[in-house]
Structure 1
Amino acid sequence: MMMMNRKNNKLLTLKRQKIKRRSFELEEKETVAEKRKRLCDEFRENTRVALRREEEGDEFDEDSPLARRLQAQQLEDSGRRCRYIASRVQNPKTRQGGGGGFELVVKHRQSVTVAVLSEDDSIVFSASKDGSIRQSHLDHDHGGKTEETCYAQQGRAHVLALAVSSDGRYLASAGFDRDIHLWDTRTRQHIQAFSGHKGPISCLTFRQGTSELFSGSYDRTIKIWNAEDRSYVTTLFGHQSHVLSIDCLRKERLLTAARDRTMHLWKVPEESQLVFRAPASSLECCCFINNDEILSGSDDGSIEHWSVLRKKPLHIIKNAHSLSTPNTLDVKQNHDLSNNCKESLDHVPETVGPSACSWVSSVAVCRGSDLAASGAGNGVVRLWEIEKDAKGVQPLFELPLVGYVNSLAFAKSGKFLVAGVGKEHRLGRWGSLPAARNGVAVHPLQLS
């Protein structure tokens, strides 16, 4: 029996070596879909080997690379594990070799309203006020675009929201036509339109790992859909004004922000909700940091750090994107940014009021980490560090970018940041920045 086990183990080892050699030969010329399939095959083979050894009486090694990888992946997916990478981000102005700033990789005729990344960070989907939707493949080495395709839109209504499913199969789009359009990302063909909202749809999101789709609208409601079944599920009521932002992780909990100065945390199975009230201004955007913490941006230029256990913000960063005076950032104990913000005033014409440019129009968090970003119209994207145990939010660096930053998205690895930028704010025309360029910009982030 022992000789047979050794023989089986030897055969399995040879088989794995053969798969590794084959994957190395094909790695450089394979497509994204082929790479995804190869990685799945390797994962299944490693799992099969581990199970076979356990059945044959060999003790499963909990410290093996496979066990550690599976455990880490499970913790990250559940939101219980945090990668502390913010302190490793190098300042673009001081790191060796310099390093470029934002590079425009996708161009649109009008302001980009939203930009989202696929689960593997290889594709960026963007939409614009001109009604166009573009799908662009990214080069991970330097963030450049390699291929671009367009989705055929009928009616050319403003597209305000996009969401892509975790498996990369479905793309949902919505906007001023009040319908949600479901697309097949492989064929770029229109699948179905969901009707039901009575006002423009401003935000969309898929629940991670599922085909469950959530939509927020100017009609003050949130609707739940199932992309796989092509069906409507239910409607959530509670907001008293336009719903502007929405986010969801793997849990059946939904986060929404509206112009009624409230943010709601919905517990979907229980059909209950928690209400968080902003102290003095309207919330423009929100996102989960993890299952217990939230980040939001307001129209007075401030950023709020919340806990799901408290109805008021834990910390408020005032003047996060202010245009008034340099060094006005107020973070917990009045810590100032090291960079002077005088330069950010140069691109703002006299016809544009400073209040419109200082609205925090987008916030984003690198999934499962302590790295966050915020954008407005004051000429910079700011990087932030979320301190451990909800102790606060500290500023890192400024990344110059002229225009209204209407959308932000981090790569899962934290190696680059995507921004949807335009001459105008995504929801209106309160001011125009002629120096801005409409499109999707990518900024590489180097980790030490």
Structure 2
Amino acid sequence: MKLEKKKGIGAKRRGKRSSIDHDPFLEEETEKRRKFNYDDDDDIESVESVESEEEGKVGEELEDEFAHETVGEKRKRLAEDTLNRIEEAKQREHEEDNEEDDDFRDSLVAKTLMQEQLEKSGRVRRANALRVQDLQSSDKFRVIVKHQHSVTGVALSDDDSRGFSVSKDGTILHWDVSSGKSDEYKWPSDEVLKSHGLKFQESWYTRHNKQSLALAVSSDGRYLATGGVDCHVHLWDIRTREHVQAFTGHCGIVSSLCFREGTAELFSGSYDGTLRRERVLSVGRDRTMQLYKVPESTRLIYRASESNFECCCFVNSDEFLSGSDNGSIALWSILKKKPVFIVNNAHHVIADHDSVNHNCTPACSWVSSVAVCRGSELAASGAGNGCVRLWGVENGSSAIQPLYELPLPGFVNSLAFAKSGRFLIAGVGQEPRLGRWGCLKSAQNGVAIHPLRLS
């Protein structure tokens, strides 16, 4: 009798499924599951065994319930979980106030949701630049992950708990932010890479070179994308650290990668002058910065008069920063073809720098990396002059104000802020990211972290 009741419940649940279950693939899988359950029924010997079996399958039934829910049902469940979480947090904050009515509690929930949505969309900036406290003697960069060669890219997961880095020797590391414990991603054999879509180039240099120049992490924390000299975009599974797919499409070295926030859409840039996927901001050594809108088949071109662009990043949907090889940092608006504010000589070479031994004085002042803390006006820039600089991008006045200098020897090839703004990650090396125009032997190849104290 219990089995019949259980089947009836299952049948009732299946009757509520959406039309997507009529897909032949799903129907075939359902028939296999039904057959498996019938076979199990034939092996039942007593009521006690049935009860123990049902108790063991409670967790599986809950997983099946979530597995078969539609997209709308999943969206509704996640929204209800979010509302419950916020209500519980607000109730804990006001637990001493027993006379609090439902209208006041609902208004707090609505206000919190509105603030989170505005910050996420970029319409409201967090005043992190104003909240950064004066640096203390103990606040300095600390190397948490070491590489044998110069680090060319760093990235953080959406929850700021894990980090990823790549270097010129093709090493890909996955590390814990708090402990610094790292795991290496192993490149598969040529046969496996070929089965995953890799097309070997005619040039021996590109065919046998796994040098990585860029990486990106998806917002859901499932996939890691890397690109480099072999002209392919490689996709890795973060959970298993295994190679998933090699994407073709570029004829030149892949130099930049970025996932669209909140989606699995991947953007890539290459030496062949092409961009793949939807909307992306790119810079090049042709003294132009271009904002592409692929679906509309349009683009906006921003030109620099005196220098080549080295890096760029969005401040919000309407403003972005750029770094140039003349040492300047510029603030741009999508409404103007010229920068609205320029900081000249942002990374000047320090006076005691031994240019004779290092033989790279011009390259040390190139702004090789810029980053902005998501949803705020706090920005950072890096070069090879021995320090990372923090900036405040003023909202409304279109100006860039200097904040602090964080000492760090070496070429700062990549920067990444924590989403909370509590720390800054820097990928540093003895050589610049895209070449060997200089060498700082005193620098250490690796990933460094610097805490930021917010009031």
TM-score of the pair, normalised by structure 2 = 0.73
Give 1:259 deviation, angstroms: 1.1
Which residue identity is paired with 2:388?
V
- The whole-number CA distance in structure 2 between the counterparts of 1:209 and 1:159 is 25
Which residue identity is paired with 1:408?
L
Residues 279, 63 of structure 1: CA spacing in aligned structure 2 closer, same or farther, 3 A cutoff? farther
Residues 49, 215 of structure 1: CA spacing in aligned structure 2 closer, same or farther, 3 A cutoff? closer
Which of 142, 146, 151 in structure 2 is aligned with 1:107?
146
Matches within 5 A, 1:105-184: 105-139=144-178, 144-145=179-180, 147-154=181-188, 155=208, 157-184=210-237
- The whole-number CA distance in structure 2 between the counterparts of 1:266 and 1:106 is 35
Is residue 303 of structure 2 the alignment partner of residue 277 of structure 1? yes
- The whole-number CA distance in structure 1 between the counterparts of 2:79 and 2:450 is 32
Deviations 1:228-281 (A, max 9, x none): xxxxxxxxxxxxxxxxxxxxxxxx632111111111112233121111001210
- The whole-number CA distance in structure 1 between the counterparts of 2:343 and 2:185 is 39
Give 1:49 deviation, angstroms: 9.2
Match in the other structure for 2:322 = 296
- The whole-number CA distance in structure 2 between the counterparts of 1:121 and 1:177 is 30
Deviations 1:30-70 (A, max 9, x none): xxxxxxxxxx999743536999xxxxxx9765864432232
- The whole-number CA distance in structure 2 between the counterparts of 1:100 and 1:71 is 35
Residues 42, 222 of structure 1: CA spacing in aligned structure 2 closer, same or farther, 3 A cutoff? closer
Which of 392, 397, 405 in structure 2 is aligned with 1:385?
392
Contact 1:50 1:60 in 2 (8 A): no
Residues 428, 132 of structure 1: CA spacing in aligned structure 2 closer, same or farther, 3 A cutoff? same
- The whole-number CA distance in structure 2 between the counterparts of 1:49 and 1:433 is 50
Match in the other structure for 2:331 = 305
Match in the other structure for 2:130 = 87
Deviations 1:171-194 (A, max 9, x none): 000100111100110111111100
Residues 268, 71 of structure 1: CA spacing in aligned structure 2 closer, same or farther, 3 A cutoff? farther
Contact 2:209 2:229 in 1 (8 A): no
Give 1:362 deviation, angstroms: 0.1
Which residue identity is paired with 2:398?
K
Is residue 80 of structure 2 the alignment partner of residue 47 of structure 1? no
- The whole-number CA distance in structure 2 between the counterparts of 1:321 and 1:159 is 26
Aligned residue-pair number: 348
- Which has the larger share of helix? 2
Matches within 5 A, 1:418-437: 418-437=425-444
**Where do 5+ consecutive residues of structure 1 fail to align?**
1-39, 52-57, 225-251, 324-340
Deviations 1:67-87 (A, max 9, x none): 223212211221111011112
Structure with higher Rg: it is 2
Contact 2:331 2:398 in 1 (8 A): no
Which residue identity is paired with 1:269?
P
- The whole-number CA distance in structure 1 between the counterparts of 2:247 and 2:103 is 49
Match in the other structure for 2:6 = none
Residues 349, 115 of structure 1: CA spacing in aligned structure 2 closer, same or farther, 3 A cutoff? farther
Residues 347, 375 of structure 1: CA spacing in aligned structure 2 closer, same or farther, 3 A cutoff? farther
Which residue identity is paired with 1:148?
S
Contact 1:421 1:437 in 2 (8 A): yes
State the Cα RMSD in Å: 2.2
Which of 187, 200, 207 in structure 1 is aligned with 2:253?
200
- The whole-number CA distance in structure 2 between the counterparts of 1:390 and 1:279 is 23
- The whole-number CA distance in structure 2 between the counterparts of 1:379 and 1:348 is 13
Contact 1:382 1:395 in 2 (8 A): yes
Q: Which moved more, 1:41-50 or 1:361-370?
A: 41-50
Matches within 5 A, 1:230-249: none
Aligned to 1:389, what secondary structure does the other structure show? coil
Give 1:390 deviation, angstroms: 4.2
Contact 2:209 2:230 in 1 (8 A): no
Give 1:353 deviation, angstroms: 2.8
Match in the other structure for 2:25 = none
Which of 362, 376, 386 in structure 2 is aligned with 1:369?
376
Contact 1:297 1:360 in 2 (8 A): yes
Match in the other structure for 2:20 = none
Aligned to 2:166, what secondary structure does the other structure show? strand
Which residue identity is paired with 1:152?
K
Contact 2:360 2:439 in 1 (8 A): no
Residues 48, 84 of structure 1: CA spacing in aligned structure 2 closer, same or farther, 3 A cutoff? closer
Contact 1:303 1:360 in 2 (8 A): yes
Which of 239, 248, 262 in structure 2 is aligned with 1:209?
262
- The whole-number CA distance in structure 1 between the counterparts of 2:121 and 2:314 is 13
TM-score of the pair, normalised by structure 1 = 0.74
- Which has the larger share of strand? 1
Match in the other structure for 1:265 = 291
Residues 361, 46 of structure 1: CA spacing in aligned structure 2 closer, same or farther, 3 A cutoff? closer
Which residue identity is paired with 1:108?
H
Aligned to 1:383, what secondary structure does the other structure show? strand
Identity %: 55
Residues 62, 283 of structure 1: CA spacing in aligned structure 2 closer, same or farther, 3 A cutoff? farther
- The whole-number CA distance in structure 1 between the counterparts of 2:110 and 2:342 is 40
Match in the other structure for 1:315 = 341
Contact 1:347 1:402 in 2 (8 A): no
Q: Which moved more, 1:71-80 or 1:196-205?
A: 71-80
Contact 2:358 2:440 in 1 (8 A): no
Residues 72, 428 of structure 1: CA spacing in aligned structure 2 closer, same or farther, 3 A cutoff? same
Matches within 5 A, 1:17-36: none
Which of 439, 448, 455 in structure 2 is aligned with 1:441?
448
Give 1:346 deviation, angstroms: 3.5
Deviations 1:384-420 (A, max 9, x none): 0101214300101100000000000000111100000
Which of 238, 259, 262 in structure 2 is aligned with 1:185?
238
- The whole-number CA distance in structure 1 between the counterparts of 2:219 and 2:346 is 32
Give 1:223 deviation, angstroms: 1.3
Give 1:99 deviation, angstroms: 2.3
